[in-house]
Amino acid sequence: MNQAFICDAVRTPFGRFGGARRRCALTTAALPLKALLARNPGLDPSRIDDVIFGCANGPGR
């Protein structure tokens, strides 16, 4: 079994379903990852094997 490490976590802005963020591009998912790398300058990006994005609730919940 491989070891897993969580170095940091951030969340994206949230809002009401169909609200102000309805026009946000899917590429905004890159913003939290960039923020994590900026906050952890000692982390070599080439050592990142996998990134997991998740949603605890479905849209509109």
**Mean pLDDT of the region 16-36:** 75
Q: Which has the higher per-residue pLDDT, 8 or 36?
A: 36
More confident residue, 45 or 4: 45
Contact 36, 10 (CB under 8 A): yes
At 58, the pLDDT band (50, 70, 90 cuts) reads: low
- pLDDT of 32 reads 83
Domain that holds residue 40: 1-61
- Total count of domains within the chain: 1
Lowest-confidence range among 7-11, 31-35, 41-45, 48-52?
Answer: 7-11
Residues 30 and 16: their CA atoms lie apart, in Å, by 21
> Amino acid letter at 54?
G
Q: How far is CA 15 from CA 18, 29, 36, 41, in A?
A: 8, 15, 22, 30
pLDDT at 20: 72
How far, in Å, are 13, 43, 49 from residue 46 at the CA level? 27, 9, 8
Q: What is the pLDDT of residue 38?
A: 92
